[in-house]
């Protein structure tokens, strides 16, 4: 019953804006945050580094040399070597592959599960919702780290097991967000209109409601990546990572005994982890601001 | 018992037959049953406009949703062209889906913000009519032109770029896509400015004149009722309290609630404002716990003992007006006057010589 | 007598993507003690912005006062005040109520605490319960002692609005700004709230600046009215005069299109077109693109407010006899232009 035209900002945006360029709009809003843009650039850089790692490494990360514990800027070893003479720079560059692979895999798998569960729970409500939410709560209350430890202790370490464990622990977050979105949009006018237009329920879920919820899903997904990278590094640090792969966490584990002698063994992978996690968080924030437009300060 | 509105002489296009709808509400006192609609019968004929008037808790929107098969009645039935919606064959129901459409209130979420205007209008063309995308797009452009929005400009716009009046025109275009016979307009013009409201009402009126579309206008605004409705039905706490032609009900109301609504509606005429007008006191009771007897008695300035204990019968007048009030004839004739705002006294029936 | 509130040539600007946009563009209005003044117009006319400007309660920092002055008697220039000075004025001299009562009440605080908040923050000492209970009773709320302990969700829409009015008037301000206070309420409840406000004016000598889009409410409440269009005042008149003999084509059109339960209109009249985009206002009189009697001068020069009986109107042709029949014989086109 309210005659609401919120402020007149939308009026100023409306009319005369031409064809809606939804990506252009999104990009404009995203780029308003310098931090988000820089973070995105960093992420892209990391992805490129991970892809071309073998091409830019200066030596085989696994082969040691006689030059052990060489400091950075030693000839041929930009960032120094570790206790076995392995080049730190090469390990760093290769380690990015594992980190990003884990991060993205976990986020994708977790998101897929979360969307299916959340959409079902949110759209149908009732006992379906109650049951699914109890299940998701159960998974949420499991302490991630401890569970990972247990599973790896029981079944051995390995990349795919690691991804599996982290994924089943991260889907509840997405599910909650999706469920909330569906529950609120389920009674929106356009959903009723879609029903009256003859759209079957399945199509309504996927083509009417889901696109409106995706924005939140993407934001949670980017945070999932950051979280997964962090936990994976922690697990490797405890020696539960895959020993056949170079990883930043593994580097940190090696570095423990040499902290005072060879600071470069710990600092570089540590900074790398921190920066990547920070970058994904900032990208997530930027995506949130860009995808959920509200009346904001300053235009 | 709710009055059975005077059905049109020919068989009605769509009719609610003694429908009720109950919801279970989980409140502080445990589970309660909320009777949003209670024993309502309402028929709409071809090319006619029926208004359903009421305030919060009247059940008018729930009734509208039952006409649209967005909600099933917990008892009673809705019939389209004589057939119960629940008993329809698949093809009959699909035809019903094409012929019965809706225009909702402009709340900002009546159009999917992620779809362009054209895409929203194309939905019924693709699903209800099974048109191919290219054909649907062409037809959507025609529909936008029909409601006065130039297709080249608006087809690919986002709803966020449109004003309220423009969005409602789009909603009408979408409703008209399958060439329906009946449209439920649920507070379709409530959120609009004065001049835009009239523009949108004109579009709807033209559709009725040109294509014989019937409308069920759900509204709280008696000015809109007077302007567009042939017949009107007044609802209170899930029941119909009065029904009849718009002019009859608005000129000579036969129920105290109708009188109160008319008295409360502000008139755009400052010279009448000092006239004493009757006002209701108290709040609208919760539909979870409706008062016994006549549901309106807790706020009715004319309530007598019988009103508190006995459900009023339906009084039928010669002109087809019906009213669920023990004193309907007296209320209508003016013998029973509503106490004025400052009066503390009881109502009395003045005997006319 | 000095007006209680004097707004002169107010300009409210919003920072836009393509440069600043004036949402209010030179508005002058005044409220005298004990008056109910209406500020009426359609969406986008700037009426809410004007009201927000008085206490500088803008929705975002992108909106600000860019010109003109707002003067409150015995307080000074509100537009030049610091945040601290404004806080002292808010509540004590000016109260404000808004459209949707639910969004202005904290769901986690009892009614009693919320109404008392204003008293507390202005340093009123002592137990506020008695004062608040009395205030709630004065607003027509039943059983006020009980109400102190209740939460907003336990109240109906009308009751919530009464609570907000109580909170707004707790410190007995001289002026109440009411921005569409009854738009979200049922019509029988609206009638009660409007009666309460009129009653408060009688009892407390309260002045009210009443913002609405509903001419019926204007007719029932206001002594004088300002009709706004596209950020400017189109007409300011005494209440009887504006309805009996409107002197601006926009006012005439609005009144003609207003629906009332009293009588069925001969035809559904609507002013064609739509309010222009604030970023691309027409030159001259802003209404000229939709006006049936616009002439060249209207397109070239913005008309000033000129005196007419009972007020003033901003129209070059306000004294022209053709004004009275401005809208008759006007075909209302089906098609809507881009801006509609």
Quick check: A104 and A166 in contact, CB under 8 A? no
Tell me how far CA of residue B346 lies from CA of B336, B349, C195, C235, C339, in angstroms.
Answer: 11, 10, 21, 45, 55
Q: What fold, for A38-52+81-291? A: MetI-like fold (1.10.3720)
Tell me the pLDDT tens digit for each residue of A243-275.
Answer: 788 889 888 988 888 888 888 888 999 999 999
Q: Mind listing the pLDDT tens digit for each residue in C291-332?
A: 999 999 999 999 999 999 999 999 999 998 888 888 886 655
- Mean pLDDT along residues B136-145: 94
Q: Is residue C17 within 8 Å of A299, Cβ to Cβ?
A: yes
Average pLDDT in chain B: 88
* Cβ density class A126-157: b for 16+ within 10 Å, e for less: eeebeebbeebeebbeeebeeebeebbeeeeb
Question: Which DSSP symbol is given to C279?
Answer: G
Chain C residues with CB-CB distance to B250 below 8 A: 261
pLDDT digits (tens, 9 = 90+) for C49-97: 999 999 888 888 889 999 999 999 999 999 999 988 898 888 889 999 9
Q: Counting beta carbons within 10 angstroms of the beta carbon of residue A246, is it exposed (0 to 12), middle (13 to 18) or buried (19 or more)?
A: buried
- Say which of C188, C213, C258 has its CB closest to residue B268: C258
The β-bridge relationship of strands C5-16 and B314-316 is unpaired
Distances (CA, A) of A99 to A93, B64, C181: 10, 56, 57
pLDDT exceeds cutoff 50 at B350: no
Q: Please report the pLDDT score of residue B328 as a whole number.
A: 93
Q: What does the pLDDT look like over A123-149, one tens digit per residue? A: 998 899 999 999 999 988 888 778 877
Query: Cβ of A13 and B105 within 8 Å?
Result: no
Question: Six-digit token pair at A285?
Answer: 């924030």
pLDDT surpassing 70 at residue C272: yes
The model's pTM is 0.85
Tokens of residue C143, six digits: 């059983």
From A77-91, B65-79, B162-176, C54-68, the region with the lowest mean pLDDT? A77-91
For the cut 70, the answer to whether the pLDDT of residue B9 exceeds it is: no
Question: Is residue B52 a contact partner of residue B60, using CB atoms and an 8 Å limit?
Answer: yes
Question: Would you list the domain boundaries of chain B?
Answer: 252-333
Mutation pick from A1, A6, A11 vs chain C, by most beta carbons of C within 10 Å, is: A11
Share of chain A above pLDDT 70, in %: 90
Is 50 exceeded by the pLDDT of residue C338? no
* B12, B44 contact by CB (below 8 A): yes
Task: Locate C339 and state its tokens.
Answer: 């801006």
Q: What is the 3-state secondary structure (H, E, C) of A122-138?
A: HHHCHHHHHHHHHHHHH
Q: Which structural domains are found in chain C, ordered by start?
A: 5-227 (3.40.50.300), 247-325 (no CATH)
Smallest CA–CA distance from B257 into chain C, residue? C188
pLDDT at C339 over 50: no
The lowest-confidence range among B131-140, B189-198, B227-236 is B189-198
pLDDT above 60: residue C336 = no
Q: Is B104 exposed, middle or buried (0-12, 13-18, 19+ CB in 10 A)?
A: buried
| Token pair for B104 | 């909702």
Q: Which of A28-42, A158-172, B153-167, B173-187 has the lowest mean pLDDT?
A: A158-172
The tokens for A276 are 């990547």
Find the mean pLDDT for residues C17-38.
93
Q: Smallest Cα–Cα separation from B194: which of A137, C212, C264?
A: C212
Q: A286-295, B169-178, B313-322, C185-194: which has the minimum mean pLDDT?
A: A286-295
Task: Give yes or no for a contact between B18 and B184, defined as CB atoms under 8 angstroms apart.
Answer: no
* pLDDT tens for each residue of B40-78: 999 999 999 999 999 988 999 999 999 999 999 999 999
- How many angstroms separate the Cα of B115 from the Cα of each of A42, A161, A209, B122, B155? 33, 41, 11, 10, 11
CB contact C143 to B (< 8 Å): no
The mean pLDDT of B207-229, rounded to a whole number, is 94
The pLDDT value given to residue B142: 93
What pLDDT sits at residue A236? 84
Q: Pick the closest to residue B268 from B313, B328, B223, B330 (CA basis).
A: B223
For chain C, list residues whose CB is within 8 angstroms of any CB belonging to chain A: 14-17, 21, 23, 43-44, 46, 48-49, 59-63, 99-100, 180, 183-184, 213, 277-280, 338-339
Domain ranges of chain A: 38-52+81-291
Give percent of chain C with pLDDT exceeding 70.
Answer: 96
Dist CA C197 CA C182 (whole Å): 11
* Angle in degrees, CA C139, C145, C146, rounded to 5: 105
The three-class DSSP label of residue B317 is: coil
Average pLDDT, integer, range B183-194? 90
Residue B32 — pLDDT band, cuts 50, 70, 90?
confident
Under the banding of pLDDT at 50, 70 and 90, the label for residue A166 is confident
- Integer angstrom CA distances of residue B54 from A116, B240, B247, B321, C133: 41, 9, 17, 17, 33
CA distance A107 to chain B (A): 24
Q: How many Å apart are CA C36 and CA B34, to the nearest integer? A: 41
Strands C76-77 and C306-308: unpaired
Predicted local distance difference test score (pLDDT) of residue A14: 35
């Amino acid at each position: 019953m309210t005659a609401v035209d919120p402020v007149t900002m939308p009026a100023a945006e409306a009319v005369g804006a031409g064809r809606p360029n939804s990506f252009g709009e999104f990009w404009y809003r995203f780029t308003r945050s310098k931090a988000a843009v820089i973070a995105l650039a960093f992420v892209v850089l990391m992805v490129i580094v991970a892809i071309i790692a073998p091409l830019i490494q200066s030596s085989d990360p696994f082969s040691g040399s006689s030059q052990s514990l060489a400091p950075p800027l030693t000839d041929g070893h930009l960032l120094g070597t570790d206790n076995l003479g392995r080049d730190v720079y090469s390990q760093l560059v290769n380690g990015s592959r594992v980190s990003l692979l884990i991060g993205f895999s976990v986020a994708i798998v977790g998101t897929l599960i979360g969307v299916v569960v959340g959409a079902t729970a949110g759209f149908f409500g009732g006992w379906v919702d109650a049951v699914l939410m109890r299940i998701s709560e159960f998974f949420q209350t499991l302490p991630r780290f401890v569970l990972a430890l247990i599973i790896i202790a029981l079944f051995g370490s390995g990349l795919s097991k690691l991804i599996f464990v982290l994924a089943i622990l991260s889907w509840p977050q997405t599910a909650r967000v999706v469920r909330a979105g569906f529950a609120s949009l389920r009674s929106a006018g356009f959903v009723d209109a879609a029903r009256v237009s003859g759209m079957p329920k399945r199509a309504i879920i996927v083509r009417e409601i889901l696109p409106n919820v995706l924005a939140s899903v993407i934001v949670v997904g980017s945070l999932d990546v950051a979280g997964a990278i962090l936990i994976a590094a922690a697990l490797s640090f405890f020696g539960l990572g895959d020993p056949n792969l170079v990883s930043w966490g593994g580097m940190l584990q090696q570095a423990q005994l040499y902290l005072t002698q060879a600071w470069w063994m710990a600092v570089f992978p540590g900074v790398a982890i921190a920066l990547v996690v920070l970058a994904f968080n900032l990208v997530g924030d930027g995506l949130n601001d860009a995808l959920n437009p509200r009346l904001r300060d300053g235009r | 018992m709710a009055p059975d509105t005077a059905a049109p002489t020919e068989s009605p296009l769509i009719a609610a037959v003694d429908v009720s709808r109950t919801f279970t509400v989980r409140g502080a006192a445990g589970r309660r049953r909320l009777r949003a609609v209670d024993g309502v019968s309402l028929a709409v004929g071809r090319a006619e406009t029926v208004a359903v008037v009421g305030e919060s808790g009247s059940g008018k929107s729930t009734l509208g949703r039952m006409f649209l098969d967005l909600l099933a009645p917990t008892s009673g039935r809705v019939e389209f062209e004589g057939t119960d919606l629940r008993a329809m064959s698949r093809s009959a129901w699909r035809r019903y889906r094409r012929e019965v459409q809706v225009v909702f209130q402009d709340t900002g979420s009546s159009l999917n913000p992620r779809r362009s205007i054209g895409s929203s209008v194309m939905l019924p063309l693709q699903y209800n009519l099974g048109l191919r995308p290219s054909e649907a797009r062409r037809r959507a452009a025609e529909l936008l032109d029909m409601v006065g929005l130039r297709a080249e400009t608006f087809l690919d716009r986002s709803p966020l770029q449109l004003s309220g009046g423009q969005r409602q025109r789009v909603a009408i275009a979408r409703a008209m896509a399958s060439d329906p016979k009946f449209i439920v307009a649920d507070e379709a013009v409530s959120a609009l400015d004065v001049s835009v409201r009239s523009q949108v009402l004109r579009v709807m009126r033209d559709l009725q004149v040109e294509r014989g579309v019937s409308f069920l206008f759900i509204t709280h605004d008696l000015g809109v009722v007077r302007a567009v409705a042939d017949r009107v039905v007044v609802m209170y706490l899930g029941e119909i309290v009065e029904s009849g032609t718009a002019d009859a009900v608005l000129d000579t109301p036969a129920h105290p609630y109708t009188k109160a609504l008319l008295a409360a509606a502000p008139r755009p005429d400052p010279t009448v404002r000092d006239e004493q007008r009757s006002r209701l006191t108290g709040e609208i009771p919760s539909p979870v716990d409706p008062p016994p007897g006549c549901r309106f008695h807790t706020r009715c300035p004319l309530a007598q003992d019988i009103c508190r204990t006995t459900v009023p019968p339906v009084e039928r007048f010669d002109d087809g007006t019906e009213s669920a009030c023990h004193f309907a004839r007296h209320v209508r004739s003016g013998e029973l006057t509503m106490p004025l705002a400052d009066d503390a006294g009881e109502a009395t029936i003045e005997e006319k010589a | 007598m000095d007006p209680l509130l004097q707004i002169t040539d107010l300009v409210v600007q919003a920072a836009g993507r393509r440069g600043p946009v004036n949402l209010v563009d030179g508005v002058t209005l005044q409220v005298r003690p004990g008056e109910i003044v209406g500020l009426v117009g359609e969406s986008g006319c700037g009426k809410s912005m004007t009201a927000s400007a008085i206490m500088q309660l803008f929705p975002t920092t992108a909106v600000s006062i860019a010109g003109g002055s707002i003067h409150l008697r015995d307080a000074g220039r509100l537009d030049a005040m610091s945040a601290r000075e404004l806080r002292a004025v808010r509540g004590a001299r000016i109260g404000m109520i808004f459209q949707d009562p639910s969004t202005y009440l904290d769901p986690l605080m009892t009614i009693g605490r919320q109404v008392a908040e204003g008293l507390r923050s202005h340093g009123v000492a002592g137990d506020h319960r008695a004062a608040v209970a009395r205030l709630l009773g004065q607003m027509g709320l039943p059983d006020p002692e009980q109400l102190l302990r209740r939460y907003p969700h336990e109240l109906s829409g009308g009751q919530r609005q009464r609570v907000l009015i109580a909170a707004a008037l707790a410190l007995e301000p001289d002026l109440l700004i009411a921005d569409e206070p009854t738009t979200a309420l049922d019509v029988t409840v609206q009638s009660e709230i409007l009666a309460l406000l009129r009653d408060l004016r009688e009892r407390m000598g309260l002045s009210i600046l009443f913002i609405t889009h509903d001419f019926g409410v204007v007719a029932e409440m206001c002594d004088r009215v300002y009709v706004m269009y596209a950020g400017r005042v189109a007409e300011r008149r005494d209440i009887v005069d504006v309805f009996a003999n409107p002197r601006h084509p926009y006012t005439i059109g609005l009144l003609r299109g207003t629906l009332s339960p009293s009588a069925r209109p001969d035809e559904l009249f609507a002013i064609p077109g739509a309010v222009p985009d604030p970023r691309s206002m027409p030159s001259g009189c802003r209404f000229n693109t939709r006006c049936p009697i616009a002439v060249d001068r209207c397109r070239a020069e913005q008309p000033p407010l000129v005196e007419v009986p009972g007020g003033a109107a901003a129209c070059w042709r306000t004294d022209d006899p053709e004004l009275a029949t401005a809208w008759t014989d006007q075909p209302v086109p089906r098609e809507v232009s881009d801006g509609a």
